[in-house]
Structure 1
Amino acid sequence: MANIRKVQYTLFGMLAFYMITGIGALVLANMWLSSEMAPREAVISREIERAGAIIGGIVAATGLVGFVGAIAPIRRKDFLLAFIVLLIAVILAELGLGGVIWFKTLRMRSVFQDKWTNEWALSLKAAFQDMTSLSGYGQCCGYAIRGDMVPSESCGPSTPVEIPVCAEKISAFADGYLRKLFTSLFGFTIVNVFVFVTTVILIQTRNDEERYIRIGKKEGRTYMDSI
């Protein structure tokens, strides 16, 4: 019984951390969805934000299933098995979203050139030109050439020629956001793998404990405190 208790407590800790990651992702995604920050919206689409919110909610919900099973693993093996299946689905979903984000990093320059020319509103272009919060990058004008610039606080007919174009700054801004998201998803996946392994160990331990209980009952022993 001591072994199963030890594995139980380990899984409780892992599940708590697992649920924190889900709740954190859910809260952050909802904050992004409820606010408008033009430069960020150019990099992280609403679809990615919604996917993050959905995955975060699923993680929090599946964590509850894991807790229900872990509280009484001998009597609630079905909950543990269901949690394993759900956890695999979560891992695949996170890897899929991470793959989408990684693919975006490979196509950034060509995509942003097209978006600057054909899609982005003048206000968004102006926001990128005037942005000074990105470390190492100041004001800029235009995307690839000065002829791309739009009127803003930083750019106009009298703008000094020394001010660079915005391609490098926009790529650096996007790369920073996407890499943080990709790294976070990778970290969440590592947590999920540890939770998966711990759950499998608990299932195996409860199977051994259940076998001992059955043998003990045949020999006339009672187990009032069995979990």
Structure 2
Amino acid sequence: MANLRRQQYYYFFFLTIYILTGAGALILGNVWLSQAAAGGAPREAVISRQIEQAGTIIGGVVVGTAVFGVVGGAAPIKLKVILTSFIFMLIGAMLAELGLGGVIWFKTLRMRSLYQSQWPIWPDTLKIAFQDMTSLAGYGQCCGYTQFTGVVLSGACADPNQQFDGCEEKVSAFADGYLRKLNDEERYIRIRNKEGRTYTNVI
């Protein structure tokens, strides 16, 4: 009996981490979607609104399936069917998360061609955000994706006497830097979780 109780403690410890992961994805997804609704978030060039929606849904699924884990874990012998169902749900949620990560990774393999085809359909607010972005070191004002192509006539780009390079290099540099930052954030979170400390995601 004592051994079963100990196993339950371990089980609920990892279940808590599972719940926090889902809740984090749910909250972060909603924050990102609300920012996207306001328009002009450069992050959308790397993580599209569809991916943000998928991540939010997966976060909700994780939290929802965790209910079965809590109920089944409270009485694993009596409620064995529920616990077994949770295990299958857990595997499904993990596969969905891996699939979403794979979509983002494959997207990075063809960034330039992808952005060139997406630039024309991006909202003007997102294009302007890149054109006027000055926070990216080594990249100043730019207009359009390539020079004279897909220019949004706003700010400095509305001046016919000014000629700026296209934003192709800036968009690629931003995407690369953002993905590296995401990777660093995940690594720091894992380190702090091992040390028993919390970490605030600032992306």
TM-score (norm 1): 0.69
Higher relative contact order (CA 8 A, sep 6+): 1
Of 83-92 and 173-182, more deviation after overlay is shown by 173-182
Please list every run of 5 or more consecutive structure 2 residues that lacks an aligned counterpart in the other structure. 189-203
Corresponding position of 2:32: 32
Structure-1 separation of matches of 2:21 and 2:156: 40
Report the alpha carbon displacement of residue 62 of structure 1 after superposing the two structures with TM.
1.2
Looking at CA atoms only, which structure, 1 or 2, has the larger radius of gyration? 1
Identical pairs, percent: 58
Report the alpha carbon displacement of residue 105 of structure 1 after superposing the two structures with TM.
1.0
Corresponding position of 1:225: none
Q: Is the 8 A contact 1:130 1:140 kept in 2?
A: yes
Structure-2 separation of matches of 1:89 and 1:141: 44
State the SS of the aligned residue for 1:140.
coil
What does 1:72-111 correspond to in 2, within 5 Å? 72-111=75-114
CA distances 1:74-113 after superposition (whole Å, capped 9, x unpaired) = 2222222111110111111111111111121112101211
Structure-2 separation of matches of 1:72 and 1:7: 12
CA distances 1:102-133 after superposition (whole Å, capped 9, x unpaired) = 121112101211233x3234443222110123
Structure-2 separation of matches of 1:164 and 1:141: 6
Report the alpha carbon displacement of residue 182 of structure 1 after superposing the two structures with TM.
7.6
Structure-1 separation of matches of 2:149 and 2:26: 41
* CA RMSD across the alignment: 3.0
Report the alpha carbon displacement of residue 66 of structure 1 after superposing the two structures with TM.
1.0
- Shift in CA distance, 103/182, structure 1 to aligned 2, threshold 3 Å: farther
Query: Does 2:67 correspond to 1:57?
Result: no
Report the alpha carbon displacement of residue 150 of structure 1 after superposing the two structures with TM.
3.4
Q: Which runs of 4+ in 1 moved over 4 A?
A: 176-187
Corresponding position of 1:211: none
Q: Is the 8 A contact 1:26 1:56 kept in 2?
A: yes
**How many equivalent pairs are there?**
185
Specify the code of the residue in structure 1 equivalent to 2:99: G
Structure-2 separation of matches of 1:154 and 1:28: 34
Structure-1 separation of matches of 2:60 and 2:123: 33
State the SS of the aligned residue for 1:102.
helix
Structure-2 separation of matches of 1:102 and 1:181: 12
Q: Is the 8 A contact 1:21 1:56 kept in 2?
A: yes
Q: Is the 8 A contact 2:146 2:165 kept in 1?
A: no
Please list every run of 5 or more consecutive structure 1 residues that lacks an aligned counterpart in the other structure. 188-227
